Amino acid sequence: MQTVMHAYASIGTPALDVLPVGVLYHFGALLGFGDASWNDLITPALAKLPKERAERFGAAIKPGDGNPAMKADPKAGAFDASIDGTLKLAPGARFYICNNAAVGLSETIAKVLDRPQASVYDALTNDLIPNGMLVPAGVWAVHAVQEHGFTLLQTSL
């Protein structure tokens, strides 16, 4: 999203004329949940998952630090790819979080932490990132925004 915003700025398009949308699905849907979910559920669960699954987030995960993608990275300068950095460049940016992934992730977290799945799901879905919205499915969101003329630029964790 950062690169797209910088590209539009370089050709003189005002930020308010650009609406970037991020669709968070599969394991990446975790980035759609706020600091409380990360501190109380996600980080403790990742610590108990098989190493190859937890390592997808690398060294960025520290207990008590919340969502590693949320906070601006002062070292990144103009190309800060955090959610906060994106919202500074594009206050209207939207983040669509896949409900199918939220259900699956809540089941995994509940099992790993020995908690009721419904309470984990409720905690996650009541703690979305700014401009985050739960959608039925990530693939649905991709199709919906493409039908409205958006271009898909895919990335993954």
Q: Which of 111, 83, 108, 112 has the alpha carbon at shortest distance from 95?
A: 83
What local confidence, expressed as pLDDT, does residue 117 receive? Answer: 97
Q: Which amino acid is located at 37 in the chain?
A: S
C-alpha span between 82 and 133 (Å, rounded): 17
Distances in whole angstroms, Cα of residue 47 to Cα of each of 40, 62, 74, 110 = 12, 10, 27, 13
Do residues 137 and 98 lie in contact, with contact meaning Cβ atoms separated by under 8 Å?
yes
What local confidence, expressed as pLDDT, does residue 115 receive? Answer: 97
Do residues 101 and 125 lie in contact, with contact meaning Cβ atoms separated by under 8 Å?
no
User: Where are the alpha helices (H) located in 114-137, listed in sequence order?
Assistant: 117-125
What does the chain come to in residues?
157
- Tell whether pTM > 0.85: no
What local confidence, expressed as pLDDT, does residue 53 receive? Answer: 63
Distant-in-sequence, close-in-space partners of 20: CB < 8 Å, separation ≥ 6: 1, 4, 5, 86, 90, 93, 94
Please give the chain's pLDDT, 157 residues, in tens: 777 888 888 999 988 888 888 888 888 899 899 999 999 999 999 888 777 666 665 556 777 888 888 887 777 766 677 788 778 878 888 889 999 999 999 999 999 999 999 999 999 999 999 999 999 887 887 777 778 777 766 665 5
For residue 86, what are its two tokens? 């994106």
What local confidence, expressed as pLDDT, does residue 42 receive? Answer: 93
What local confidence, expressed as pLDDT, does residue 116 receive? Answer: 97
